[in-house]
Amino acid sequence: MVGDPGQLVAQLRRGFAVGGGGHLRQQQAPTLAAIEALRNREQLAPDTPLVVFVRDAFAEAEARRDGLAAAIERSRGTNRDAGAEAEAFLRRVSDGELIAGEAFDAVMALPNAEAKRYWIRLLAEAASDPDDRDMLVQIHRDDDLVPAQSAARKAMKLIDAVSYGPQVELD
């Protein structure tokens, strides 16, 4: 771990130099620009890749959260039925009363593996709060929740960018 941002930039430059080309090379300029903005306490330009990602991911998480109620209705009576207890938590997440991570235990208690994987994936897609991190880590640790792991990684990237990254205008 590097405590000095200047040292971090120097380490990253060395890493990019030996890392080859392709995708890694494409990440060099945006990564260094984001670190410099963080270091200088500046807001990133609206068209930078990190800002675009944060805006899009945050809007998508909000839409997924809002869509939970409709998913409950579509799933009722199917293999993905959430059951009464989990449904109550999911509705509160959809209404904005709870964050996604607060419904995790109720969904994990579902006896049907298909329903559990489905709802956990939807919760991961709706996650955007720093307190959702515990849920996202648990998703990664559970081999039965592989369908939700990609969404969990994206949510973790969003949460980390907002919590620890440079200033980003969301509106």
Phi, psi of 80 (to 5 degrees): -100, 10
DSSP conformational letter for 142? -
pLDDT confidence of residue 2: 57
Give the residue from 69, 70, 53 showing the smallest Cα distance to 155.
53
DSSP conformational letter for 167? B
pLDDT confidence of residue 163: 92
Give the residue from 47, 79, 60 showing the smallest Cα distance to 127.
60
The domain spans of the chain are 5-42, 54-162
Amino acid at 66: D
DSSP conformational letter for 44? P
Those residues whose C-beta lies under 8 Å from the C-beta of residue 34, and which sit 6 or more positions away, are 44, 48, 50, 165, 166
Specify the 3-state DSSP secondary structure of 43.
Answer: strand
Residues in the chain: 171
At 89-137, the pLDDT tens digits run 999 999 999 999 999 999 999 999 999 999 999 999 999 999 999 999 9
pLDDT confidence of residue 23: 78
Task: Give, to the nearest 10 degrees, the angle between helix 146-164 and helix 49-66.
Answer: 120
Amino acid at 28: Q
What angle is formed at CA 94 by the lines to CA 105 and CA 136, rounded to 5 degrees? 40
DSSP conformational letter for 16? H
Kindly state the tokens that stand for 130.
């720093």
Residues in the chain with pLDDT < 50? none
